[in-house]
A and B are shown apart, each in its own frame.
Chain A
Amino acid sequence: MIPDFDQQGKAQTKEWAPEVSAPAILLENVSKGYGRIFALSNITLALNGGVTGVLGMNGAGKSTLFNILMGKLKVSQGSVKLFGTDPWKNPAPYARVGFVPEHEKMYDWMTGHGFVSTFARLNGLTRDEAKIEADRVLNFVSLEDVAHKKIGQYSKGMRQRVKIAHALVNDPELIILDEPLQGCDPLARTTIMNVIRELGRMGRTVLVSSHILQEIERITEQIVILHQGRLLALGNLHAIRERRDQIPHRISIQAENPKALAKNVIDIDEVFGISFPDGKNLSIQTHNLGAIHSQLPRIIVDNNHKITTIDNPDDDLASILGYLTSGGRV
């Protein structure tokens, strides 16, 4: 057992200055292994500004990636830099970072306000500053009404929001949220999504993970897809989808009269198959999802169809992963 001399003593945030040209996050050939198993393998990534969704199934390496970024895990290979500084060696960049962990271990005996102001003080705010800033961020996440109740009495959505508030209290440039929508009710999810979008609009670098594509889709179109610890795709979600449009898709429509609807949509050139899984549903097969979706509204309105739901069952993370891992074939 040898001391880790890589740790460098002082986190003097006043003396530390970020590299002007450095991105908020820079990973170069990062690997993290646990014994013979690699949770992350050779990840190279640079992110700066806007919201980026990190997608991956359970065990893809999302939390490991975030733990490495937050200095909780040491990389086995490669280098990690936040604003140009290795956070494992010098935690000073965390003055500009806010982190919302996936699993909550919160101080249930504290009030939401107390919790946020305590961690504000750990960032170096004075007592008075911490109280003012705690009010600011609790208002931002719409928790001002319950700010002085104990966290133990909060609902899951409130707990998520107070975690977001504690991550924002130092007004960070980089915000990392690990599965922030997990277990939240629709109202809390909407509020949290609004918070994330607003931060992205402000030009902050926001990294948010999820294993549900639709969640990320509502927040951002810039995505990173991890699969079995490897970086599978990086870029615009639509661009990835457009590539996938060349392979067959299904559109499932629940309608009052699916056969009448089928009669109208069969004339669309891009439709190459139609089926009726049951009496209420119509399933359309197409190579061009976008073209169908652009024509469907007019057909429905012109012919006065009554529609209950429209769904793209192939348009989820699992199918995109299947497409990407099969080298473009499904």
Chain B
Amino acid sequence: MTPSEENQLDVQPAVAQPDGFAAEAPVTGKGRLEAAWGSTEGDEDLSIATPTSAKSDGQIFKQQYKTWNGELNPRWMRNWAILRHHLLGIFKKGHRPWGVPIRLYLLVVFIASMSDVGMTLVSGLIGDSGLHSVWGVSRDNLYGHVLGFFPRNMLYYPVVAALLVGGVISEDRQHGTSALYFSRPITRFDYVAMKFISVAMIQGLLILITLGLYYFAEILTMGRGWSWIIDTLPMFLATVFSAVLLIFTYTSIGLSLSSVSKGKFFPGIALLSIILGTKVLAFIVSNLFDREILYLISPYDCLAHVGQAIIGTQPTYDQYSWTWSLASLVAMNAVALYVLSTRVSSMEVTRE
């Protein structure tokens, strides 16, 4: 409604507002003083404070509420709104504000993850078979793209997960913005599921998209045909599955930590400590006592062990079966999701 001449009232002392406490209005709010002294609606202090000059200090608009006769759309529409709010925040303003350092780091990791894509393109362009044998698509290189420890699972992916999960639930708790979600017809399951998917999708953008580009670069530069694609597709899909497992595990552990804390520092540091700390601990024990069993408490080592098994590379964990690592991964994810669902379903928001 654009305020028009007839529905705006200059603030003047003791001017009767025609529709203030009309007799037909169901809610009058007429106080005794107002009844006795003939003052009308609104803030009487205002009229006392305003000088009787031709120039008005402000305008009070008459509110005319227009109803909306539309229909609310289904659940997926609301969930999509949450998801896009988080995802688009990476790329543009006006959505969830991921910090500049986070966005810069994501860009750096994206470019760094493309190193094998670039080298494959270079090897194809200059026709260097030696370079291609090192960087081109192979079972070991596919494994390395997703599950290689240094630098990818030491500097890239766990840090990205830590940065993303850091504030995604805990900041909502700290600032009370979760209250804004919970005052909508959004279940807590949907709320946390969309948070989970948005964090996982951003990681997927870095890991799976670059993996796909790597595979595509090999086809493009080396002129691979259908037979090569059919030969290598199973190990490519196994790598994709390993990547999904990695993203799921990092996200579920990270979000469970985010749900039990306020602030973004603890969840991020705790996730890095769990991923890298258990790895270091298991590595030390393995070297000192020649026992690899502690790798079972390390999320990264379990992922690597399962990845080696399904992609088909040479296993580096040979004291126990990969199925133990798979069982350990399932247990880790179950505990993390249990904590996450418990915390979110019973979350009481005590500040807005």
Q: Interface of A with B (CB < 8 Å)?
A: 1-4, 7, 9-14, 49-51, 67, 70-74, 90-95, 97, 99, 101-105, 107, 109-111, 114, 118-119, 121-126, 129, 133, 136, 139-142, 144, 168, 170-171, 186-187, 189-191, 193-195, 197-203, 214, 216-222, 238, 241, 289-290, 293-294, 296-297, 310, 312
Contact = CB atoms under 8 A, between A and B. Distances in A.
Contact of B29 (A14, A119, A191, A221): A221
Given A10-B75, A73-B348, A122 B36 contact: no
Contacts of B32: 238, 241, 289-290, 293
A122 B181 contact: yes
Nearest to B27: A200
Given A3-B346, A72-B179, A105 B352 contact: yes
Contacts of B342: 1-4
B277 interface: no
Nearest to A138: B1
A220 B72 CA distance: 31
Question: Which of B30, B60, B184 lies at the interface centre, i.e. has the most chain A CB atoms within 10 A of its CB?
Answer: B184
A92 B184 CA distance: 8
A122 B81 contact: yes
Interface in B70-128: 70-75, 77-78, 81-82, 85, 93-94, 97
B3 interface: yes
Given A11-B187, A136-B68, A186 B77 contact: no
A294 B352 CA distance: 45
Contacts of B97: 107, 109
10 contacts: A3-B341, A3-B342, A10-B187, A13-B74, A95-B72, A125-B70, A125-B72, A141-B63, A170-B72, A218-B41
B315 to A, nearest CB: 37
A220 B89 CA distance: 42
B184 A122 contact: yes
Contacts of B18: none
A105 B186 contact: no
A102 B35 CA distance: 31
Interface stretch (B43-51, B132-140, B147-155, B247-255): B43-51
B184 A94 contact: yes
Chain B contact-residue range equals: 35 or more
A91 B185 contact: yes
A110 B31 CA distance: 40
A173 to B, nearest CB: 11
B262 interface: no
B185 A123 contact: yes
B324 interface: no
A90 B73 CA distance: 17
B187 A91 contact: yes
Given A101-B352, A189-B43, A220-B27, A70 B72 contact: no
Nearest to B184: A122
B64 A142 contact: no
Interface string B21-60: 0000111111111011110011101100100000000111
B30 A118 contact: no
A142 B61 contact: yes
A123 B184 contact: yes
B29 A91 contact: no
Contacts of B184: 91, 94-95, 119, 122-123
B26 A50 contact: yes
Interface in B160-216: 175-177, 179-190
A241 B31 CA distance: 10
A97 B179 CA distance: 14
Contact of B185 (A50, A94, A118, A141): A94
A272 to B, nearest CB: 19
B72 A218 contact: no
B228 to A, nearest CB: 43
Contact of A221 (B27, B45, B183): B27
A95 B185 contact: yes
B98 to A, nearest CB: 11
A121 B68 contact: no
Question: Which of A2, A101, A312 lies at the interface centre, i.e. has the most chain B CB atoms within 10 A of its CB?
Answer: A101
B349 interface: yes
Nearest to A49: B26
Interface string B1-13: 1110000000100
A193 B43 CA distance: 9
A186 B188 CA distance: 39
A74 B64 CA distance: 36
B190 A94 contact: no
Contacts of B62: 194
Contact of A93 (B25, B61, B185): B185
A2 B182 CA distance: 21
Interface string B330-352: 00000000110110011011111
A197 B27 contact: yes
Given A125-B73, A136-B66, A199-B65, A7 B177 contact: no
Contact of A13 (B46, B72, B190): B72
Nearest to B46: A186
Contacts of A121: 77-78, 81
B63 A194 contact: yes
B227 interface: no
